[in-house]
Structure 1
Amino acid sequence: MKPYIWDPWTTARTDPDRSAVIADGERYSFGELTAHADALARGLRGLGIPDGAVVSTDIPTGPVFFALALTALRHGFGLFPIDGQLLELPLGRALLTSVAAALHITAEQRANGPALPCPVLTEAELTARAAGATLPATPPAAGRLVFATSGTTGLPQAVARTRPRRPYRGVAVVERYGAGADRGPHLMANPTYHLGTLGPALYALQAGSTVVVQRSWSPGAFVELADRHRADSAMLSPDRLTDLVEAGQAPRHRFRVVFHGGAACPPAVKRAAIGLFGPVLHEYYGTSQGVITEIGTAQWLDRPGSVGRPLPGIHIEITKDGRPLPAGETGAIDIRLRAVDRDVPDADDVLRTGDVGHLDGEGYLFVVGRAESPREIRTARLEHDIRLLPGVTDAAVLDGADDEPVCFVEHGRGDTFEDPVPAIEATASELDLPLPRIVLAASGSLPRTPSGKLKRASLAALARSTPRATE
């Protein structure tokens, strides 16, 4: 199929009654979704919210949330989705200040909560302001999304994606992404607060697919929704992929593509998922600014553990002390962005990811972990190698008291799990690291962020208080 440009307003003109977003008992057609997006835009203009300003929202994932996302993209605003519980904390309110939020949009008026650093309106109040307001005759430059980092290693920080310099046009519909007006729905089973989880769903919606939202996670409910709606695509964070693998559950209706990303996925889990779903897994690696690499199932099976090659126009460089390293050597992963992703068009922007890894001879990227110092690189390598052990479903290695490594190891409940202690101690010795403490835990029992990553900030406290498990 030759790629083509598509957008929800085109779907609304050609098939206005086609379902756009379904969440529990809520449903919007494409006609209703785009009409609501335009009304929200008029409401923002009627309030005098300037072009390019950032608005935040804690509206739950569903039809109204996606209408607001389309409002931002088409009508030239920034949208910052934030968990409502975070707004009760000083951190959440500080994030709104850091993005200079001009307005916070909520589903229901907040009562008795802390004051926010910007005006607050309900979605209904904002829509009511649309009466008599008009939109600019000349379309503005497209809007953008703003996300907070996951906060796995510390406090979350807001990251604004580069605003496009041209009006909104939609997305390029590409066969490998399994979306389009002639495709079945996309099943969204993760929160909206991160690009990795929202991105595939928002892409599918713009391409013409229905988005079905699973608000309460369980493997059984995921399978039931996929079969009921005959979903053609889905996004799963690695922890939820692990849940499905351990439950041995897959829909009878086969997906065209299952996206995963946002955290490292142990090769054993991914192989099991390929056996469960078929050769349809599509992995991506990126930051809160955007996707950097992607890899399909066939390419991954040839290079297990790789996160793929960079997207067109993106250049990956592996460096040490500022100098490029040859293929196969591990160093810092630096990204030279495409011109379209640069805040200053002519700048040669370099994105320091904070991750370390290496490229093979064909340009495929292998990510080891997050690190800066030589000691941190060895610790990241230990964590990476632990994920390769049979039965391991996730791992995190942190420094405990007296710089002693503490290895948190999640494992499945199947027969493939073997005692990892001898292998971990041997690897630590090879990497010239002290003998580690090893904390074993069942899959899904360690603290995680809403996007499915192990929450290192919480694990750091456990590392300082957990007794040695190997004594």
Structure 2
Amino acid sequence: MQPYLCDPWTTADRFPDRPAVLVTDTQEAYSFRELTVRADALAEGLKRAGVPEGAIVSTDIPTGPRFFALVLAGLRYGYGVFPVGGHHFGTSTAATLLTDTAAAVHVTDGGRPLGPLPCPVLLDDELAARSEPAPASPESMDRPRAGYLIFATSGTTGEPQAVLRPRPPRPYKGVAVAERYGAGTDRGPHIMANPTYHLGTLGPALYALQAGSAVVVQRAWSPGNFVATVDRYEADSAMLSPDRLLELVEHGKAPEHRLRVVFHGGSACPPEVKRSAVDLLGPVLHEYYGTSRGTLTEISSDDWLRHPGSVGRPLPGIRIEIVRDGHTVPAGEVGEICVSLRGADRSSDEDRFMGTGDIGFVDSDGFLTVVGRADASGDPDQARLEHEIRLIPGVTDVAVVGGDLTCYVEVSKRRSADVTPGIRAAAQRLGLTLHGVVTGPTGSLPRTPSGKIARSSLGTARPADADTGPGR
């Protein structure tokens, strides 16, 4: 099927009562008509409040109908929308992020105390009420350049950082609907089982919504709840971070209603875990790799089975080079992953190739494998060790941290074998000395809201029932 453009306003015109966004535990819901009317009203409210086109609007509204209405208002009417996780408020992090992005206003639903912020705060309901009389229809208005989303890094190794993106040069047109993404007005809902403010979790949901699919937000996570939600709503797509994909694999039960696409990404997924997920769900996994600036690569289940461990080849318009000691290395050699973004996605003053801080290699067919994250000095050996440990049967996740190289490992609850000898052998092959190995069951390490291991917390945290000791 050839791609075609679609947007929520087109869906609202054709199917006004079609469900657009639903939250499972609160039953808060908007149809496409309600969603787009709300988005138009919020945009008009921002204009009447004196927020200029092109300004950055931050928000802490939880993922759901009101949140997506604000995002769509920003995309269509030319605002930068910066979602900031609620856990950052009450600390200095939120104010720092808003200062760094020069946010013009913060929009909230009033659900939490925010503390002092460096910009005015407006309630979304009050903004929507400012839109009377009703704004002119978009067709009769001069269309501004499209808005865009801004994301913060996960903060796995320190404080989160806002990553600014250039504003698109043309008006908002929606998305090109492609068969492989399992979304459209003829498709079932998308399950947003990681309802967090992260490109990897929000991106697939926003794409599905713009393509005409409903988005079902599952805030209370459990594998059983996910299976029941897919079956209840006859969903066609979902997004699962690697830790939740693993929990589903260990749960061992798939939905009776077969999903067309299961997106996953955000951190490395051990090959054993992914093979088990393909066995459980079918060849429907669609993995992606990127940064807070955008998605860089994608890979289908079929391609992954031919290139296990890979995250795919670059998307059109994107180039990837592997660099070590300032030089591009040939296929198969490990180095820093450097990327050249599409012209529309980078500023005129940016270098053509930018380092990602991730370590990896490209095979002879052009498929990228992400080994891990470089340490503070840029040394890839720590990331290479993590990669080797993920290949050990039974290991479901790992983080090697600290100057003295302490290894924190999660082990599948279905495995009884001791993984420590394999870990010690991997370190020896790379010429590294481990201070200690800490093992615990799957799900025992501290995580960020997006599902990544919170590395900055590992110095003071031990998994429950852990084994530890020098050289273990």
Q: Tell me if TM exceeds 0.5.
A: yes
Is structure 2 residue 277 aligned with structure 1 residue 273? yes
In structure 2, what residue type is equivalent to 1:121? L
1:6-405 aligned within 5 A: 6-24=6-24, 25-108=27-110, 111=113, 113-132=114-133, 134=135, 137-344=141-348, 349-371=352-374, 376-399=379-402, 403-405=403-405
Give the TM-score, by structure 2 length. Answer: 0.95
Cα displacement (A) at 1:460: 3.3
Q: In structure 2, do the counterparts of structure 1 residues 434 and 121 end up closer, same or farther at CA, with 3 Å as the change threshold?
A: same
Whether the 8 Å CA contact 1:109–1:121 is kept in 2: the answer is no
Question: Residue 428 of structure 2 corresponds to which residue in structure 1?
Answer: 429
Q: 2:2 is matched by which residue type in structure 1?
A: K
Instruction: Measure, in 2, the Cα distance between the counterparts of 1:58 and 1:374.
Output: 34
Q: Distance in 2 between matches of 1:460 and 1:349?
A: 37
| Alpha carbons 2:439, 2:468 under 8 Å: kept | no
Superposed CA RMSD: 1.8
1:17 is paired with a residue whose SS is coil
Answer whether contact 2:41 2:134 (CA < 8 A) is retained.
no
Q: Is 1:2 equivalent to 2:2 in the alignment?
A: yes
Q: Any unmatched runs of 5+ in structure 2?
A: none
* SS at structure 1 position matched to 2:296: strand
Q: Is the 8 A contact 2:310 2:370 kept in 1?
A: yes
How far has the Cα of 1:84 moved from its partner?
1.8
Deviation at 1:134, TM superposition (A): 4.7
Counterpart of 1:253 in 2: which secondary structure? coil
Cα deviations across residues 304-328 of structure 1 (Å, max 9, x unaligned)? Answer: 1000000001000011122111111
CA contact (8 A) 2:394 2:419 kept: no
State the AA in 1 paired with 2:444. Answer: S
Identity of aligned residues (%): 60
TM-aligned CA deviation for residue 26 of structure 1: 1.1
Distance 1:318 1:175 in 2: 31
CA–CA distance in structure 2, aligned partners of residues 134 and 182 of structure 1: 30
User: Quick one: distance in 1 between partners of 2:376 and 2:190?
Assistant: 41
Question: 1:385-414 deviations in whole A, cap 9, x for unaligned?
Answer: 111111111000012xxx321110001111
Distance across 2 between alignment mates of 1:68 and 1:412: 40
Mapped to 2, the partners of 1:103 and 1:310 lie a distance apart of 36
Please report how far the alpha carbon of residue 253 of structure 1 lies from its aligned counterpart in structure 2 after TM superposition. 0.2
Could you say what secondary structure the match of 1:259 adopts? strand
Corresponding letter in the other structure for 1:102: A
Mean CA deviation greater in 129-138 or 163-172: 129-138
Name which of structure 1's ranges 119-128 and 287-296 shifts more when overlaid on structure 2: 119-128
- Give the letter aligned to residue 94 of structure 2: G
Higher mean C-alpha deviation, range 317-326 or range 32-41: 317-326
How far did residue 7 of structure 1 move?
A: 0.5
Question: Aligned residue for 1:455?
Answer: 454
AA aligned opposite 1:186: H
For 1:397, the aligned partner's letter is V
Letter in 1 for 2:145: A
State the shift of 1:339 in Å. 1.0
Return the alpha-carbon distance in structure 1 between the equivalents of residues 6 and 455 of structure 2: 40
- Is the partner of 2:163 in helix, strand or coil? strand
Is the partner of 1:376 in helix, strand or coil? coil
CA distance in 1, matches of 2:183, 2:173: 17
- Cα contact 1:45–1:134 (8 A) shared by 2: no
Amino acid at match of 1:286: G
Corresponding pairs, count? 463
SS state of the match for residue 20, structure 1? strand
1:125 CA drift (Å):
1.1
